[in-house]
Amino acid sequence: MRKSADQTRRLLIITTKAPVAGRAKTRLTTDFSPDSGEKLAFAFLTDLLRTATNPALQATVWIALDGDASALPHEAQGLPIFPQSGNSLGERMVNILEQGLKSGFEAVCLVGSDLPHLPLCFVQEAFGRLEAGAEATIGPTDDGGYYLVGLRTVRRELFENIPWSHPDTFAETMKAAQTAAIQIATLPPWYDIDTAQDLQRLNTDLQRGVALAPETAATRFRYRQSEL
């Protein structure tokens, strides 16, 4: 069946591990109950899926999964799910993006599941920048990485010889874009939730009303054992 014009415009891919105990959010949960990593990961993904599937975004949503699909929240039901492939983070990311572009989508953006509080407007801006002519778009994080990357065409140069999970990840990606003469648009800075300190920051932002992640907020308070 042929896709309509709207269906081929925008694709948002969420890359995630299955939210199961022992594999999910282990860096976050040393001060929490043994199953808190699973519950936080489940809540993170639930909140992100609700943002991703907001009709205002006008995007198709896929899930690139590492693990068992049966562990995913019900918000994932009906969404295309496919396994990640590649020997490194960069290789997995470019393979995922390439799969979307080869499927006929005009703009493909990729985010991780550690963004329960990702503002919808940032994703809208990412697609808007690509549709306005940028070859790529990227959203930097405060720790030196990035929370979103989007492409209109496959550009493997952005993912080769990059130090992943490193304070220079974003900077080195921007250098790679400059070397390859790739027109890349930068999004507003944000933060992902990798550490207990990040979770504390999110807790503060939720209390102040400057971030929205209702499922995460409920799980955070219900399962904590000690104050961060």
Strand order in the sheet with 184-186: 81-83, 60-66, 10-17, 107-112, 146-151, 136-140, 184-186
pLDDT at residue 25 above 90?
Answer: no
Q: Establish if 228 belongs to a structural domain.
A: no
pLDDT digits (tens, 9 = 90+) for 181-224: 999 999 999 999 988 889 889 999 999 999 999 999 998 656 55
Q: Establish if 227 belongs to a structural domain.
A: no
Domain range holding 64? Answer: 5-222
Total domain count, the chain: 1
The confidence score (pLDDT) of residue 36 equals: 77
CA distance 221 to 99: 38
CATH of the domain at 26: 3.90.550.10
Q: Establish if 18 belongs to a structural domain.
A: yes
The confidence score (pLDDT) of residue 195 equals: 85
| Least confident stretch, 32-41, 91-100, 194-203 | 32-41
Give 163's pLDDT tier (boundaries 50, 70, 90).
very high
Q: Establish if 205 belongs to a structural domain.
A: yes
pLDDT at residue 135 above 70?
Answer: yes
| Mean pLDDT computed over 20-36 | 62
Give 226's pLDDT tier (boundaries 50, 70, 90).
very low
Q: Establish if 125 belongs to a structural domain.
A: yes
Q: Establish if 159 belongs to a structural domain.
A: yes
| Least confident stretch, 13-22, 67-76, 146-155 | 13-22
| Least confident stretch, 7-21, 72-86, 178-192 | 7-21
| Mean pLDDT computed over 132-150 | 97
Q: Establish if 52 belongs to a structural domain.
A: yes
154 vs 136, 199, 218, CA distance in Å? 9, 34, 39
Beta bridge partners of 108: 11, 151
